[in-house]
A and B are shown apart, each in its own frame.
Chain A
Amino acid sequence: MARQPTLWVRARDLAVPILASLALVAATTVGLLILDYFFALRHVTLVYLVPVIVAATRLGIVPAVAAAIAGVGATAFFFYPPIYSFLVDDPQHLIELPLFVFVAIVTGHLATNLRRQAEIARRRENEVQELYAFSRRLAAAHTAGDICNAIREHLASIIGRRMFLFETAPGGETRGSLPDREPVPDTVRREIEALAAGRRRSPEQSFIAEGHDWLIRPLSGKRGTFAILAVDVGQHAGGAADVIKQRVDAVLRDATATLEQLDLDQAIGEARVRSETEALRDALIGSVSHQLRTPLASILGTATVISQAPANSSDPRLTSLANILRTEVDRLNGDVQDLLDAALISSEGIRLDAEWVEPADIINAAVERRQRLLARHRVVLQVADDLPFVYADPILLEQALGQVIDNAAKYSQPDSTVTLAARADGDTVVLSVADEGIGLVGDERTRLWERFFRGDRHASNVTGSGLGLWIAKSFVTANAGDIDAASEGADRGTVVSIRLRVTEPATPDLEVAHDG
């Protein structure tokens, strides 16, 4: 009883492609008959190679053979005299037909092989891709849990079945189960614990939980078992279940070999070190930030006090010296801030603090904070009325825009114009900074955004870290925006545009619209 469905499935799996290949032959025959009516064809057998090859590449060797035989039959019946009979009179035709069968079968065989090779190559490619993604995940894993999760997802993607992975401690007890959001059936949990404690009589034996067949397998690295895997084989019985189990075991054998090569115990150890290293780096960044900025704050504060002291403020020489100090400290502070931003972006990514933002506020804040830098430029603001609000992190946007303004001021002559504009464009708001400076040439337009990129033309006489625009791009991208630069060429100015998407606010009905 139990095997009947499998047999039926097998018969169906075989019959459908054969019927399909016969249909191809029939279609070819109809086509040939129509042509024959007009042109009186002579050698039609060759045409039947078409359905044979199609069947071989798409459906396999058995349907291809069926197509070959049907092709011979159709030729004899419809085209070779006596017509409408399987008899063949012409001895030349008698030689031709077996030759066709031979050629058809050889061609079909070759085509099938080709198909299989292509499939194997594709599967290999997929496996390599998956393995590559997997090893990348391992390299980035912070904890043993991350690693086990990566393994579980890797195995689940190649086996394609529901499974749970239990991390095991050296003492033999199990820790958590993955995926952690899915409840584990009690029977499965019990069996896992029994295996972990060495209480299972036949460790490889499958068991039934909630009507499903389950396989249970330990995963071992160089230093013993580090996890146990439970795979849901499903409700198949008998042969089908055996086939699945064999496949699972084959995949696990491969995977275990890979895992041994990757030396997971070491990977787990390294993950711990890595998370400690990152904590250390964060602490270092914080401390360096404090170390560098504290003296800057003292220098700037002291300089401004000296310049404003009653005894000095009337002496223009002293106030202008204090001004130089202030400018230099601002610049240094900006560079330190760039380094910190860059280190933060690469180490922990960008934390968004999004809210509804008035676009004009971003431009005003960015200009306000760079008043000294822009003091010698003519600044034109063109902010459209009633721009939509954008949902974004205002601080990051202000910093991004500020970096662009820094560049505009640095790479253009004093007394030239810097135009800041905000306008709506379709469902976006565009903030732009246009200068009349050195412009962009060649690949600068794209390379501009690279980390540490500095244009060759002016690297020697303009200071900078090469981080500013990279930071700007990172911040804009984090806000789901785009940034790009346009220029008509050398010394013809640059326009940098930051494009932000506008979304409708989902807010409750507060009293405001009918307000005044």
Chain B
Amino acid sequence: MGDGTILVIDDEPHVRQFLRAAFEFEGFTVQEAADANEGMRSATLKPPDLVILDLGLPDRDGASIVERLRTWSNVPIIVLTVRTREREKVRLLELGADDYVVKPFGIAELVARARVALRPRSPKSPGDPVIKAGPLEINLVNRSATLGGRRIALGPKEYLVLHVLAQQAGRVVTRQHLMKQVWGGSHADDTHYLRIVVRNLRKKIEADPTRPRILLTELGVGYRLAQ
């Protein structure tokens, strides 16, 4: 099931060790790197399918590594970070990281994120443009959504927000990215509108809009469509 190579860049040998064990149990091959330079070399020589990057590396800050990697590779990157660094998380996501996990974390959480990140970013075959999130199905081609098989009426902005989230289903999408995609670049900071649209959407797609199970909030960062 999980055949692929994962590159773990972390200066803590114990973290590398348990990550190796965990991903090998899941059937992955694991490469290790103890610092940014070694990680970059490893990523160049033997391109992995996924990079897990610790942000607290001694030789270089996380943002510059993500930036460097993105100049020549589209490999999914999951960053390991600590709490209270929401701005940094947003910045890394904008630079091209795919997701983040906050330390300390249970391994199940990381493996689940890794599986989502390893899936191709948009549906492979154009013949199946339907994204599923629980009872919600979003058809990216004829731009419609159904809930439990019944079509729901969405306003144009509501559909667009859902569309952008569905393209990245399971992944966190920053508010800034959503604002740019839905309202255009000049309104990236007027997130009040985004919140109104999200609230309206939740009323239409969630069983209990105050306890969302499909359209989830990543506090301080953005939103995620559940998978």
Contacts and interface: CB of A to CB of B under 8 A. Distances in A.
Q: Do A and B bind each other?
A: yes
Interface in B144-162: 153-158
A515 B157 contact: yes
A383 B209 CA distance: 10
A301 interface: yes
A294 B11 CA distance: 10
Interface of B: 12, 14-15, 17-19, 21-22, 25, 56, 80, 82-84, 86-87, 103-108, 153-158, 183, 187, 190-193, 195-200, 209-212, 217, 219-220
A300 B56 CA distance: 18
Interface in A385-411: 385-386, 389, 393-395, 398
Contacts of A299: 104
Interface centre among A302, A305, A360 (most CB of B within 10 A): A305
A289 B212 CA distance: 33
B149 to A, nearest CB: 20
B158 A381 contact: no
28 contacts: A293-B82, A293-B103, A294-B15, A297-B15, A297-B105, A300-B105, A301-B104, A304-B106, A305-B25, A308-B22, A308-B107, A355-B191, A356-B192, A356-B195, A365-B217, A383-B210, A383-B211, A385-B209, A389-B192, A394-B219, A398-B219, A508-B187, A510-B193, A511-B183, A512-B197, A515-B157, A515-B197, A516-B155
Interface residues of A, number: 49
A305 B220 contact: no
A337 interface: yes
A333 B190 contact: no
A244 B156 CA distance: 72
| CB-CB nearest 9 A-B residue pairs | A516-B155, A515-B155, A383-B210, A298-B14, A300-B104, A297-B104, A304-B106, A304-B107, A361-B217
A309 interface: yes
Chain A interface, >50% SS class: helix
Nearest to A309: B25
A298 B15 contact: yes
B190 A510 contact: yes
A305 B86 contact: no
Contact of A302 (B18, B86, B155): B18
Given A300-B106, A512-B196, 10 more contacts: A295-B14, A297-B104, A301-B18, A309-B21, A355-B191, A358-B198, A381-B211, A398-B219, A507-B192, A516-B153
A353 B211 contact: no
A515 B14 contact: no
A512 B219 contact: no
Given A358-B195, A394-B220, A297 B103 contact: yes
Interface in A350-396: 353, 355-358, 360-362, 364-365, 381, 383, 385-386, 389, 393-395
Contacts of B158: 515-516
A333 B106 CA distance: 13
Contacts of A300: 104-106
B219 A511 contact: no
A183 interface: no
